[in-house]
Chain A
Amino acid sequence: AQKITQTQPGMFVQEKEAVTLDCTYDTSDPSYGLFWYKQPSSGEMIFLIYQGSYDQQNATEGRYSLNFQKARKSANLVISASQLGDSAMYFCAMRGPNRDDKIIFGKGTRLHILP
């Protein structure tokens, strides 16, 4: 069975500092995809970044990068130069290779950026 674990329920970070949000996963499939979503207080889930299990390089999207350590089954999200608008819930998610595989989500980490 697949599982996503986010061990940090909440984090406080000073504005302009880099942030690392932890995510570990468990799967027996060699092929899978990993996603990070941001959910502001307004409720919308915003797709941030994707990493495929066979991708050779860590994914990057602007200030977001994914620190993918396959052997450790770790897919941490790194936000560089944090901004006040980064305050939100962040969810790590995973999907397996089969057509009927569902995306499963972690419980999330609430990030607070301090001015």
Chain B
Amino acid sequence: ETGVTQTPRHLVMGMTNKKSLKCEQHLGHNAMYWYKQSAKKPLELMFVYNFKEQTENNSVPSRFSPECPNSSHLFLHLHTLQPEDSALYLCASSQEAGVRNQPQHFGDGTRLSIL
């Protein structure tokens, strides 16, 4: 079983749909992250949760709404997305946010396509 599991792996949705991405980590970590990876652009951090509290919102549009009910689960709720939101969305976790030498462990990502 992988340490960080993301579902679904692929998602196609229209601009008026509402959907949610799910991330679950089995590593006992306390920090979780959402990243967006678009073609030919560096990985962009979207949100950070540390001990269930949101500590970072990197100027993400409100059509993306994160939820962290506990340290093991992280959701990204999507509504009225735009075509430019099509990307690979990666979830990651680490022991604790803001510690210099701790690597983040990533899931396989959800490849999102907006029609």
Q: Chain A interface (Cβ within 8 Å of chain B)?
A: 4, 31-33, 35, 37, 42-47, 50, 52, 91, 95-108
Contacts and interface: CB of A to CB of B under 8 A. Distances in A.
Main SS class of interface, B: loop
Interface residues of B, number: 25
B101 A52 contact: yes
A107 B92 CA distance: 18
A43 B108 contact: yes
B8 interface: no
Interface in B49-106: 55-56, 58, 88, 90, 92, 97-98, 100-101, 103-106
Interface of B: 2, 40-43, 45, 48, 55-56, 58, 88, 90, 92, 97-98, 100-101, 103-109, 111
A102 B100 contact: no
A43 B111 contact: yes
Contacts of B104: 45, 47, 103
A33 B42 contact: no
